[in-house]
Structures are given as structure tokens and as C-alpha cells.
């Protein structure tokens, strides 16, 4: 085993194991190691290899002692796809790693190649988790972290608006956060995000829904027509309308309490509790029921149940806006 010891947070540990399927996080794990190595030695030699480039015997060649004791970083991508013979080479290397070499193994996790994963962990690898983000809350946490890392302040509404605007691609979310920090001074709020990223499918569909549940029929119809003209799928709009109306219904039937308590009870972030509270003025239980019925009919219409999806959406938007202003 290794004779040199590092803390689990040291990017210059003899072995770093990045586990997961999120490409951006895997790339960042590699970049962190390379940056640390080149900070220690600007002449560090970096070898970034795919399974087809790492044949049996290749690792031994790359890690053989150098006359000049040069520092190396050897990156092995998709380590779960290595051949059986190459995996034997890697395991053998883990028993006696070289002092001047940092090995970075990128592994998808799961059952494939699990023997190598277990061997790396047993060897005391510094492990970096790179899980695929599948939940909106995880993407929201990522965006907040990006702004903190960049040393900037962004409101909760701005972070949510960015997720709604950009979608699920972390690389695009990171790029958008970086762009905003570069271009904007002071706190980044929802209006700023809207100016930069209005027009993305998710953002425009939720804009339609927000205006509708607020009872602003004209604004909602304008947003609807603009969304459709830019290619937003009608099904995204019915989905956003349904979410908006359901949120009104859930909060109106909930017991009073602090936003944090209600957030836990209803499965919403606290900032959304405040927004929905503002939107729910004028709503009645009958209005919620009628709005959900209208949205369901529109959803059926845009999925083949009608001849004119745009008309079905317009009817739903007007029905939701009217429901929001129904007399008590």
C-alpha cells in the first residue's frame, strides 16, 4: 500500500476515485487534481486516458520511475469499462503506488467493474462523489453552491428561476451562473435572471402559469403566444399550469404555520410557499377544482384529443385566470 499519506480532502493524494455519472462533476474532479499538481510543479505531465488507450502494460509504462522524478497525473476515464487484464494491472499498481504520481480513476459506480471500485476504496482512495442530479431540489442546491463558490449573492427566487430557465444540464447551469456573475453587479435577483434567460422552454411555460394563477389573463395569453412562437411544447405549458394550480390547492388546504414548517409538510421550498401565498388571493376551493378540470381538458387536447392545441391552451389559460378571480 501507499507509504505517503494525505487527508481525504487532499487533491494530491496518491489515488483519487471519482464516482458517478455527472460529467461536469467528473471533469471538475480531474481539474482539481491537475490544478493542485501543477501548482506544486508547473511541469507536471498529465495523461488523460480512455479504456481503449489503457491496454495491459500501459499503466506500468506510465508509472515507471523517471530519472528526473517528474510529477505525473494519470487520469483513467470510464474505469468500469477496462479489460480484465488492465484491471489486474491497476490493482497491482494500487498495492505499491509511486510517490510522484497521482492516479485518478473515474468510475460510473454500479455493479460493472465493482471489483476495481472496491480495490480502490480498500487502498485508501480519496473519493469524490459525482452523482447524476435527477431531482429539481438537487439542481437548486447546485445553483446555490455555484453562486457561493463564485462569491456572489443570489436570491432564492433567482436560483429557482435559473433552474426553471435552463433545465437539468449542470454544465449549462454552471455556465449561466458564471455569466450572470460576470455581467451583473450586486445581488442577482429573479428579474435579472428573467432578462437574461426568458425564452427557454421551462421558463416561458412557468411564466404562463404564474400569470394565469395570478388572474392576469391578458399577460398570461401574451406569454402563451410568445412561448408557442418560440417552439415551447404545449405539454410543458399544461404541466406548468397543473403544477401552479395544484400548489394553490395544497397551500390553501394546509394548516397555518411558518414557511419552513409548511415547506416540509407540502414538499415545497420555503420561498415557494411565500410566492404561492401571494398568488392564492382570490382563489376558492371551487375555483381550484374548475381550474384543474380546465387544465386536464387542455392536456387531453394537446395530446391528440383535439384539433387545435393552441386554442385548447388559450381556453385553459383564460379559465385558470378567471378561477383566480372568482367572487367568494
The predicted model scores a pTM of 0.60
Q: Is there a domain that residue 285 lies in?
A: yes
The answer to whether residue 93 scores a pLDDT higher than 80 is yes
Containing domain of residue 110, as a range?
15-130
Higher pLDDT, 6 or 204: 204
For residue 271, the model assigns a pLDDT of 66
CATH number at residue 160: 1.10.8
For residue 198, the model assigns a pLDDT of 59
**Are residues 156 and 219 both part of a single domain?**
no
The string of DSSP letters for 22-77 reads: -HHHHHHHHHHHHHHHHHH-TT-EEEEE-GGG--TTHHHHHTS--TT---EEEEES
Residues 180-193 pLDDT 10s: 898 889 999 988 88
Residues 197-233 pLDDT 10s: 755 555 568 888 989 999 999 989 988 888 887 677 7
Q: How many residues does the chain have?
A: 328
For residue 5, the model assigns a pLDDT of 44
For residue 263, the model assigns a pLDDT of 66
Phi, psi (5° rounding) for residue 46?
A: -110, 125
CATH number at residue 39: 3.40.50.300
CATH number at residue 295: 1.20.272.10
For residue 104, the model assigns a pLDDT of 97
| Residue at which a domain ends, from 114, 130, 146 | 130
Cell representation of residue 245 = 394550480
Residues 116-169 pLDDT 10s: 999 999 999 999 999 988 888 889 999 999 999 999 999 999 998 888 777 777
For residue 236, the model assigns a pLDDT of 83
What is the rounded average pLDDT for all residues in the chain? 86
Q: Is there a domain that residue 206 lies in?
A: no
**Are residues 45 and 105 both part of a single domain?**
yes
**Bridge partners (DSSP) listed for residue 324:** none
Beta strands in the chain (DSSP E): 15-20, 45-49, 72-76, 101-107, 126-130
Phi, psi (5° rounding) for residue 215?
A: 80, 15
Averaged over 281-290, what is the pLDDT? 90
Residues 317-328 pLDDT 10s: 999 999 987 665
Q: Which residue has the cell 489503457?
A: 54
For residue 269, the model assigns a pLDDT of 67
For residue 2, the model assigns a pLDDT of 40
The answer to whether residue 274 scores a pLDDT higher than 70 is yes
| Residue at which a domain ends, from 115, 130, 145 | 130
Amino acid at each position: 500500500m501507499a507509504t505517503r499519506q494525505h487527508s481525504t480532502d487532499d487533491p494530491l493524494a496518491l489515488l483519487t476515485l471519482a464516482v458517478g455519472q455527472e460529467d461536469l462533476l467528473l471533469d471538475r474532479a480531474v481539474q482539481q487534481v491537475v490544478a493542485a499538481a501543477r501548482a506544486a510543479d508547473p511541469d507536471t505531465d498529465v495523461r488523460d486516458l480512455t479504456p481503449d488507450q489503457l491496454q495491459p502494460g500501459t499503466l506500468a509504462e506510465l508509472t515507471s520511475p523517471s530519472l528526473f522524478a517528474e510529477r505525473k497525473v494519470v487520469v483513467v476515464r470510464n474505469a468500469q469499462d477496462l479489460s480484465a487484464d488492465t484491471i489486474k494491472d491497476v490493482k497491482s499498481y494500487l498495492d505499491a503506488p509511486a510517490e510522484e504520481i497521482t492516479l485518478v480513476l473515474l468510475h460510473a459506480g454500479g455493479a460493472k467493474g465493482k471489483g476495481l471500485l472496491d480495490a480502490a476504496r480498500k487502498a485508501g482512495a480519496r473519493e469524490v462523489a459525482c452523482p447524476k442530479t435527477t431531482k429539481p431540489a438537487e439542481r437548486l442546491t447546485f445553483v446555490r453552491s455555484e453562486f457561493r463558490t463564485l462569491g456572489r449573492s443570489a436570491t432564492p427566487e433567482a436560483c429557482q428561476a435559473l433552474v426553471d430557465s435552463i433545465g437539468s444540464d449542470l454544465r449549462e447551469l454552471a455556465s449561466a451562473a458564471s455569466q450572470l456573475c460576470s455581467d451583473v453587479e450586486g445581488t442577482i435577483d429573479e428579474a435579472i435572471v428573467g432578462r437574461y434567460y426568458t425564452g427557454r422552454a421551462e421558463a416561458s411555460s412557468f411564466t404562463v402559469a404564474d400569470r394565469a394563477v395570478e388572474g392576469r389573463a391578458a399577460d398570461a395569453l401574451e406569454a402563451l403566444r410568445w412561448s408557442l412562437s418560440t417552439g415551447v411544447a404545449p405539454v410543458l405549458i399544461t404541466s406548468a399550469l397543473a403544477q401552479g394550480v395544484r400548489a394553490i390547492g395544497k397551500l390553501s388546504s394546509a394548516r397555518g404555520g411558518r414557511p419552513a414548517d409548511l415547506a416540509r409538510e407540502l414538499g415545497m421550498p420555503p420561498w415557494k410557499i411565500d410566492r404561492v401565498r401571494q398568488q392564492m388571493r382570490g382563489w376558492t376551493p371551487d375555483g381550484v377544482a374548475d381550474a384543474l378540470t380546465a387544465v386536464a381538458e387542455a392536456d387531453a387536447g394537446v395530446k391528440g384529443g383535439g384539433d387545435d392545441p393552441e386554442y385548447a391552451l388559450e381556453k385553459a389559460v383564460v379559465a385558470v385566470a378567471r378561477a383566480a378571480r372568482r367572487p367568494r
